[in-house]
Structure 1
Amino acid sequence: MRRTKKERQQLLISTINDNPFITDEELAEKFQVSVQTIRLDRLELSIPELRERIKTVAEKRFDDEVRSLPIEEVIGEIIDIELDQSAISIFDVKEEHVFQRNKIARGHHVFAQANSLAVALINDELALTAKANIHFNRSVKLNERVIAKARVIKIDENALRTYVEVTSFVNNELVFTGNFEMYRSKNH
């Protein structure tokens, strides 16, 4: 069904309000227009691009919640977090994250996303990685989006340790797993 520009733009506003994490490509498909048309609509409506929308939502939601490190020190964008329980972040692999000769992401970026998510998850002013057991299942490439999911496995109050498992995916394919033993400064 063909919509007028005004109708499409009204639907665009409500769609983005419902899901600020929707991509321009998904919007173009939904409204059966080109990605360029969506970008022009967003520009006209002063709706920021996805990366800025994610950042804004994350800052609003998590600035008060994340205690162990400033939100801007997290590698990737946190999109959901429940302290001492679970968290999710998104990391878009850009030119500066890859080896130039083969366009494969440097492993330390994928690790840093998982590690900083494990730190952010700890409900304490101080959280440090005591030990990590990691496994790269496959290479991550330029322009891929890595979604990391962290969950607390166990909290050992006596040892001041929290055990966190992080799994990272590209298009639902497992690319990285990490088990982190996190030191925390206090019992909670």
Structure 2
Amino acid sequence: MSRIKKQERQQQLREKLNNTPFVTDEELAAFFQVSVPTIRLDRLELGIPELRERIKAMAEEHSHDTIENERVEVVGELLDLTAGKQGLSMLHTTADMLDATGYVEPHFLYAQADSLAKAVIGIPAAIAGVGNIKYKNPVAAECNLVAKAEVVRRRGDKAFIWVTIKDKVREVFRAKFIMEPVKNRM
């Protein structure tokens, strides 16, 4: 991509962030072949917030029947929760989560997915009776992992929940759970 005029770059920047809002300033700088400070100045002029604020704004915008439940414990930060339908959380990975190979231990991804699934169905004492999980890509430290859980079906007390975890736009983990209350297992 050759250098383009500021106004055209800002218009393309706005369109790119509308299509892929989880893109970092560094990735935008590489895409437009400009410096990171240039991207930040463009965002400021256009009134576009930084990545973390865009994620929070999207969560608030898409929450309609959000519930407040102090008993819900989610691994990471709960961004959005619509009871019985869907939820969104973010987990910031750190160096103490890494294994010997330098990647985040898989149990952190599973914990984020499982806890968000429990929060979505609103039953803190639930168990994944069946779980089909797939670790799709390794995750490094200092990433923001965004998990989205959605209830796709209910059958009696059982809830079928699909969870995807993404690092920016790249899917790193997915799970399909059949969750049920613990009382059903006793």
Structure 2 length as normaliser, TM-score? 0.63
Is the Cα–Cα contact under 8 Å of residues 86 and 151 in structure 2 kept in the other structure?
A: yes
Change over 3 Å in CA distance of 1:151–1:11 after alignment to 2: closer
C-alpha distance in 1 between matches for 2:20 and 2:27 = 11
Cα distance, 1:142 vs structure 2: 0.8
Residue 60 of structure 2 corresponds to: 59
SS of the residue 1:22 aligns to = coil
C-alpha distance in 2 between matches for 1:165 and 1:129 = 19
Q: Deviations over 1:15-70 (max 9, x none)?
A: 434543333234224423233321232245443211111012212322x3233647
Residue 105 of structure 1 corresponds to: 104
Change over 3 Å in CA distance of 1:34–1:77 after alignment to 2: farther
C-alpha distance in 2 between matches for 1:33 and 1:65 = 41
C-alpha distance in 1 between matches for 2:120 and 2:134 = 22
Residue 24 of structure 1 corresponds to: 25
Alignment of 1:127-166 (within 5 A): 127-132=123-128, 137=135, 140-152=139-151, 154-157=153-156, 160-166=157-163
Change over 3 Å in CA distance of 1:5–1:77 after alignment to 2: farther
SS of the residue 2:53 aligns to = helix
Structure 1 length as normaliser, TM-score? 0.62
Q: Deviations over 1:76-116 (max 9, x none)?
A: 5658x8764555655442346x2597654355542342134
Residue 117 of structure 1 corresponds to: 116
**What runs of 5+ residues in structure 2 fail to find an aligned partner?**
none
C-alpha distance in 1 between matches for 2:33 and 2:93 = 27
Cα distance, 1:8 vs structure 2: 2.4
Aligned residue-pair number: 175
**What runs of 5+ residues in structure 1 fail to find an aligned partner?**
none
The percent of aligned pairs where both chains have the same amino acid is 35
SS of the residue 1:27 aligns to = helix
C-alpha distance in 1 between matches for 2:165 and 2:18 = 27
The one-letter amino acid paired with 1:115 is D
Residue 47 of structure 1 corresponds to: 48
C-alpha distance in 2 between matches for 1:43 and 1:72 = 35
